[in-house]
Structure 1
Amino acid sequence: MKDAIKALAADPYQREAARVRLAVEGRSVVRPLIAELLDETSPVPWQEIERLLVKWIPEHAYDEVLAALASASDKVSRRRLSRTFTSFGAVDRYIEALNHPSASVRESAAMGIQSACSVAYGRKPNPDVDYDLVIDALIPLLADPDEDVAQRVRWLLTMLGDGVLEPLRHVRRHGPGKLRAHALSVLAAAGGEEALSAADRAAVERLVRIKLLDDRAQPLDTCFTSWIAVPGGDQQGIAELLGLFDARPATFELGLSVGSHDSHDGAEYGRVYVTPEVDGWTLVLGPWCNPVDPERAEDVLRVVTELSRHHGRAQAYYFGEQGGGSGWLVAENGETVRRCKGSWAKDDARFSLGEPLPQERAACIEEGITPVGDAPADGEEADEEWTDLAPYLAPDLARRLGVSPFDLGPDTTVRGAGIVALTPHARAHGRPCTGAYAI
Structure 2
Amino acid sequence: MRALASDVDPRTRRHTWAALEQVVDDGNRDNFFALLVDDLDTEQFRRLLTDTDPEVRIRARWMDTTGFQKDPFAMMALDLLADERFDYAWPDCMEVLRRPARFDTLVDALAEAPRAGPGERLMVTVGLPAGTRLPEFPPEQAPSTVACWRCDCELMAAHRCRHLPVFVALLGSSLDWVREFAVSALCECGPGVTGPLESMRRRSDFAARRQALVLLAEFGWNRIPAEDLRVLQRLIQMKQKTETPQPLNYEYLDGSWYALPTTDQAAVIDAFDLCDPIPVTMRMGFAPWQGRAPLPVYAEGWANMDGDFWAENSRLYERYPYPEVFITPVLDGWTLVFYRDHALGGIPGSPSVERQDETYQRVEELSIRFGSAHWYEQFGDDYEPGCRSQWCVARDGEVLMHCVSAGDVRIRRSGEIDQTASLDRLYQWLEANDNGRGPRPSRAEAERVEGYVKMLCEHSDMGLLRDDDAEPGSDMASPLQDQVFGARAAAQRLSVGLETLGPQTRVQGTGVMAVPAHLRHRLRRGALPI
Matched, 1:54 2:71: yes
Matched, 1:126 2:141: no
| Kept in 1: contact 2:343–2:516 (CA 8 A) | no
Inter-partner Cα distance in structure 2 for 1:175 and 1:83: 24
Deviations 1:388-438 (A, max 9, x none): 4544422121111121222222221111111111124515xx424412111
Alignment of 1:174-213 (within 5 A): 174-175=203-204, 179-189=208-218, 191-213=219-241
| Kept in 1: contact 2:375–2:391 (CA 8 A) | yes
Pair member with larger Rg: 2
The equivalent of 1:278 in structure 2 is 331
Displacement of 1:369? 3.0
Partner SS, residue 358 of structure 1: helix
Displacement of 1:353? 1.5
Inter-partner Cα distance in structure 1 for 2:110 and 2:448: 66
Displacement of 1:165? 0.9
Displacement of 1:50? 4.8
Inter-partner Cα distance in structure 1 for 2:151 and 2:378: 45
The equivalent of 2:527 in structure 1 is 436
Deviations 1:74-112 (A, max 9, x none): xxx869x726644758713566477437866449xxxxx
Alignment of 1:349-364 (within 5 A): 352-354=412-414, 355=417, 356=426, 358-360=428-430
Displacement of 1:281? 0.8
Query: Which of 228, 242, 245 lines up with 2:275 in the alignment?
Result: 245
Q: TM-score, normalised by structure 1?
A: 0.70
Amino acid at match of 1:71: D
Inter-partner Cα distance in structure 2 for 1:124 and 1:336: 54
Displacement of 1:154? 3.8
| Cα separation, partners in 2 of 1:252 and 1:50, compared to 1, 3 Å | closer
The equivalent of 1:311 in structure 2 is 370
| Kept in 2: contact 1:269–1:425 (CA 8 A) | no
Q: Percent identity?
A: 24
Inter-partner Cα distance in structure 2 for 1:263 and 1:182: 15
| Cα separation, partners in 2 of 1:319 and 1:290, compared to 1, 3 Å | farther
| Cα separation, partners in 2 of 1:63 and 1:382, compared to 1, 3 Å | farther
The equivalent of 1:22 in structure 2 is none
Amino acid at match of 2:257: W
Amino acid at match of 2:149: P
CA RMSD in angstroms, aligned pairs only: 4.6
Query: Which of 94, 112, 121 lines up with 1:100 in the alignment?
Result: 121
Q: TM-score, normalised by structure 2?
A: 0.59
The equivalent of 1:334 in structure 2 is 397
Displacement of 1:360? 4.5
Inter-partner Cα distance in structure 1 for 2:181 and 2:148: 21
Amino acid at match of 2:503: P
The equivalent of 2:243 in structure 1 is 215
| Cα separation, partners in 2 of 1:98 and 1:212, compared to 1, 3 Å | farther
The equivalent of 2:25 in structure 1 is none
The equivalent of 2:108 in structure 1 is 91
Inter-partner Cα distance in structure 1 for 2:96 and 2:378: 39
| Kept in 2: contact 1:269–1:287 (CA 8 A) | yes
Displacement of 1:166? 0.6
Stretches of structure 1 that go unaligned for 5 or more consecutive residues are 6-24, 108-122
| Cα separation, partners in 2 of 1:219 and 1:369, compared to 1, 3 Å | closer
